[in-house]
Amino acid sequence: MMKAQAVWDSAKRPPALMGRVAARMASEGASSTMGRETQKPPVYRGRYGISAFVLALSGLMLCGSSTVFAQNNSNAQKSGAQPTQSFEQLTKRARAAQDANQLPEAIRLYQKATALRPSWSEGWWYLGTMLFDSNQIAQAHDAFLHFVSVEHKQPGPGFGMLGLTEFELKNYRKALDAVERGRALGLGDNPAFVQRVLYVDGILNNDLGQPEIALARLTRVANLLAAEHPEALRETVLEDTELLDALGLAALRIRQLPTEISSGQAELVRKAGHAQALILIQDPIAAGAEIKQLVDQHPSEPGVHYMYGVFLLDHDSASAVDQFRREIEISPRSPFARIQLALQFLHTGDYEQGLKYAQEAVALAPDNFISHVACGSLWLELGNTDHALHELRIAVRMSPGSPEAHFALSRALSAAGQSGDAARERAEFERLKTLTGANDRQQRN
């Protein structure tokens, strides 16, 4: 188990939280220990790293427990009780129990304190962390939900942690929505926490049919690992088997979680992940040799020719096209080789042939936003702006955080003479591009 403290950026954290937000990151295979704050750390270490969820993500309304808490507070005031004094006494006792690592007692006292003051974000934070560490995931989820409903300065890390709780509860779509929202808002500067959230983001995107996004998230994980260990970059990335399996699944376009890899798949997935990791650490010669070996050893295995085609695109596009066509023969129901062919023919100007593959991809994978981006872009080049706008609006609805989708839509709107809407889409493209760059810089620093 690796330990981490102070997930929130101390420069932005409310003063009441300074030096007290603590948590222990837990991920299988973790091997590094996070640095500590200069201020005195509490004795308690939570299991992951922070948590919460912004209500607007799911449209949920706080009810039930929060209503009861507010009613209890109102009743206490009507009966002549002194909730402020009682609250101060409870928080003092709760912190003492927390510092003494008396978790059941600390949880009980924080529950009482948050009942008296539902707007106390710090209390919800500690409560959620300790409940999570005690494997009371559903209760932790509720505490984190309350936390972000009252925490307005830096909710991004809270989105990330709520995503982790949803992941533990196997609510995978909600988990993905939460971690994506957290990534967009900024996850803070705790590398272990950021890595874990991006890892979950990646494997969920792959499992839910967006392997392109999955590889982008997992690439960030690899980059963060490398930045942490520049003296042993190669070993750090190539020996992280959890990351390798996730990369292998995404590279082969296998829609499942790493925990679902069968014994028959394990060797192929791990080798594919190793080759993909070599690409990420910029060793294309070794990567090419390993991928070619996979093709030779598994010529009829779905995903292998696709992976080789992607590798060949930059320097041998003709051979890449051949590999994608071979992949379609092996996996006639898979959309991914068709998407690559559509994009390649968009690039070379063979729009009619590209549109054929793009339409087939949309029919096979209507939930894959890139298939709609490719289809819309090809319709635009063929002069059919109505069809282009239809496909690209679908793409933006599916992936509102994708700069590329907004950019493509802005071009189609401009071609349709809708200059105002085009300008708004272009502005959103610029905003997302800037936000992505800012988040990447924050995570690197």
Q: What is the pLDDT of residues 225-255, one digit of tens each?
A: 999 998 998 999 999 999 999 999 999 999 9
CA 119 centroid distance within chain: 28
Please tell me the predicted confidence (pLDDT) of residue 435. Answer: 77
Q: What is the pLDDT of residues 137-163, one digit of tens each?
A: 999 999 988 888 888 888 888 888 899
Q: Which residues partner with 22 through β-bridges?
A: 5
Please tell me the predicted confidence (pLDDT) of residue 439. Answer: 54
Please tell me the predicted confidence (pLDDT) of residue 253. Answer: 95
For residue 166, give both structure tokens: 């949803």
Please tell me the predicted confidence (pLDDT) of residue 437. Answer: 65
Q: What percent of the chain has pLDDT over 90?
A: 65
Domains and CATH numbers, the chain: 1-188 (1.25.40.10), 209-334 (1.25.40), 355-445 (1.25.40.10)
Residue 168 pLDDT exceeds 60: yes
Buried-exposed string 103-136: b where 16+ CB fall within 10 A, e elsewhere:
beebbbbbbbbbbbbbebbbbbbbbbbbbbbeee
Q: Would you say 87 and 111 are in contact if contact means Cβ atoms under 8 Å apart?
A: no
Task: Tell me which DSSP letter residue 335 carries.
Answer: S
DSSP string, 199-229: HHHHHHHHHTT-HHHHHHHHHHHHHHHHHH-
Q: What is the pLDDT of residues 200-211, one digit of tens each?
A: 999 999 999 889
Please tell me the predicted confidence (pLDDT) of residue 2. Answer: 31
Please tell me the predicted confidence (pLDDT) of residue 441. Answer: 53
DSSP string, 8-23: S-TTTS-GGGTTT-EE
Q: What is the pLDDT of residues 352-406, one digit of tens each?
A: 999 999 999 999 999 999 999 999 999 999 999 999 999 999 999 998 989 999 9
